[in-house]
Structure 1
């Protein structure tokens, strides 16, 4: 099932950023399916470090840039069974620093596609109401493993 994913590019993409807008949508469909969130919708804003630092200070009270921020539409999204004809469940919005994706992938020695998948899975799970912990980390790892298989990424 294809999900309704809106991608808003608010910055010049870092050359190390591994995907076009269309490819990013395909990646998100794989992640949402892997996380059991197929049929959900969300917005991804691609931003620079300066913008994510502003958002981080305004909404989280933290100084400096981060890699991804989640802005859920509800504390506990209605993720139950949807009736035929009902629209997708809107999870909320992710702000993703494209600068951080390239920088951190190099820093951690990870293929950019896998680091991007990890950040998007992590942020999406926050949108779906998950907090940090073993369950969230296990789901993130499983989603990244699926992306690695789908894209035949060799580390």
Structure 2
């Protein structure tokens, strides 16, 4: 599997979950499903609720913990509700030097992910994979604020997770 996620682990509990493998698998499946070429990198911060609450406060003016946050390296969203964002293309200069282009950053909280997985009766690995797919889609310009965008994003999440043999996370 190609290495596309650069991971910083601040909470050792993530090692027990296998965050490296989950992140690489989720990001690779997402980019492959969308037919996005090689040459990209994602930074992932595997942290706890305290750290993600700090980030949520700093960047979103919300002081509580959340499961996942993402910061795209550039704005890629489609202007019209329900339209596909344009896939990024690697910068030829970066490729000439063997350097990947940065798609953006993701932070994920162990505490919230573990609690949500337990509350929903899901394996934590499935829930974490879903949240990383979700975060990568945000980096690529997908969102769930507008109704048609939300339908598009959720449909992609289901399809990508299916390629990883993970059940539909929205099915109750």
Shift of 1:94: 0.2
Q: Distance in 2 between matches of 1:128 and 1:38?
A: 13
Cα deviation for residue 138 of structure 1 reads 0.6
The structural deviation recorded for 1:100 is 1.6
1:63 maps onto 2:72 in alignment? no
Q: CA deviation at 1:93?
A: 0.5
> How much has 1:135 moved relative to structure 2?
0.8
CA contact (8 A) 2:70 2:107 kept: yes
My pick for the range that moved more, 17-26 or 120-129, is 17-26
Root-mean-square deviation (CA, aligned residues, Å) is 2.6
Which residue in 2 is equivalent to 1:79?
88
Distance 2:25 2:130 in 1: 15
The gaps in structure 1 that reach 5 residues or longer are: 150-155
Given candidates 89, 106, 114, the residue that maps to 1:94 is 106
Q: Deviations over 1:55-74 (max 9, x none)?
A: 01110111210000001111
Aligned residues: 148
Residues 22 and 125 in structure 2, CA contact (< 8 A), matched pair in contact too: no
> Deviation of residue 137 (structure 1)?
0.7
1:127 aligns to what? Answer: 139
Distance 1:81 1:41 in 2: 10
Change (3 A) 1:148 1:113: farther
Checking the alignment, whether the CA contact within 8 Å between 1:35 and 1:139 is kept in structure 2 is no
| Native 8 Å contact 2:49 2:111 kept in 1 | yes
| Equivalent pair of 1:49/1:97 in contact (CA under 8 Å) | yes
Q: Which has the larger radius of gyration?
A: 2
Query: Does residue 145 in structure 1 map to residue 144 in structure 2?
Result: no
Instruction: Mark the runs of 5 or more structure 2 residues left unpaired by the alignment.
Output: 77-85, 145-149, 167-172
Task: Kindly indicate whether residue 113 of structure 2 is the aligned counterpart of residue 115 of structure 1.
Answer: no
CA contact (8 A) 2:14 2:46 kept: no
- Please state how far the C-alpha of 1:131 moved relative to its aligned partner: 1.3
